[in-house]
């Protein structure tokens, strides 16, 4: 599979739909995204089983992200609380995102770890190479990080 170039052959990326039907033989299930009904269904199917389950909320639980559709997201989280309390771990991308987990009863006290996706542009070597740039979402301007322009060489 060309999508998995560079990964060990044991790594499989499966369509979410297929994980609703099967799951036996998995060493680990890592679900990216929470506010997607199909992803929540996969979590519900596997969280009580023998396979360890890790959730990456993709920064969607941070205050700025929650501000958009606040009531719907809080209701969604309340309904998922019993299932989310059984997660094995939560994967976050920063200390800020990790700190935001404390604001969610369902995730408070769960194991969490900080790790990047490892998909950065090869020219981005540190945080100083990033600049905060406003982007627009349905909720208005949202800061995001993009590689800072490199100085022209002479």
Q: What would the two tokens of residue 148 be?
A: 């800072």
Average pLDDT over residues 135-150: 44
3-class secondary structure per residue, 10-68: CCCCCCHHHHHHCCCCCCCEEEECCCCHHHHHHHHHHCCCCCCEEEECCCCCCHHHHCC
Is the confidence at residue 140, as pLDDT, over 60?
no
Residue 75: partners with Cβ closer than 8 Å, 6 or more residues away: none
| Residue 151: per-residue pLDDT | 53
- Residue 148 gets which letter from DSSP? P
Task: Round to whole Å and give the CA distance between 88 and 111.
Answer: 7
Average pLDDT over residues 93-105: 91
Percentage of the chain exceeding pLDDT 90: 26
Average pLDDT over residues 109-128: 65
| Residue 24: per-residue pLDDT | 65
| Residue 116: per-residue pLDDT | 79
Please tell me which of 41-45, 117-121, 149-153 the model is most confident about, judged by mean pLDDT: 41-45
Task: Round to whole Å and give the CA distance between 23 and 79.
Answer: 24
End-to-end CA distance of the chain: give it in Å, rounded.
Answer: 42
Residue 152's pLDDT band (cuts 50, 70, 90): low
Percentage of the chain exceeding pLDDT 70: 66
Is the confidence at residue 112, as pLDDT, over 80?
yes
- Average pLDDT of every residue of the chain: 75
pTM of the model: 0.69
């Amino acid at each position: 599979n060309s999508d998995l170039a560079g990964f060990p052959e044991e790594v499989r990326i499966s369509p979410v739909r297929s994980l609703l039907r099967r799951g036996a033989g998995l060493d680990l299930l890592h679900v990216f995204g929470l506010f997607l009904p199909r992803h929540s269904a996969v979590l519900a199917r596997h969280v009580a089983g023998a396979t360890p389950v890790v959730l990456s909320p993709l920064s969607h639980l941070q205050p700025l992200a929650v501000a958009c559709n606040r009531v719907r997201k809080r209701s969604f989280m309340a309904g998922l609380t019993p299932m989310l309390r059984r997660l094995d771990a939560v994967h976050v991308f920063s200390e800020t995102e990790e700190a935001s987990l404390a604001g969610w009863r369902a995730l408070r006290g769960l194991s969490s770890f900080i790790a990047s996706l490892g998909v950065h542009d090869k020219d981005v070597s540190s945080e100083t190479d990033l600049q905060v740039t406003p982007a627009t979402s349905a909720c208005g301007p949202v800061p995001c990080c993009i590689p800072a322009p490199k100085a022209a060489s002479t």
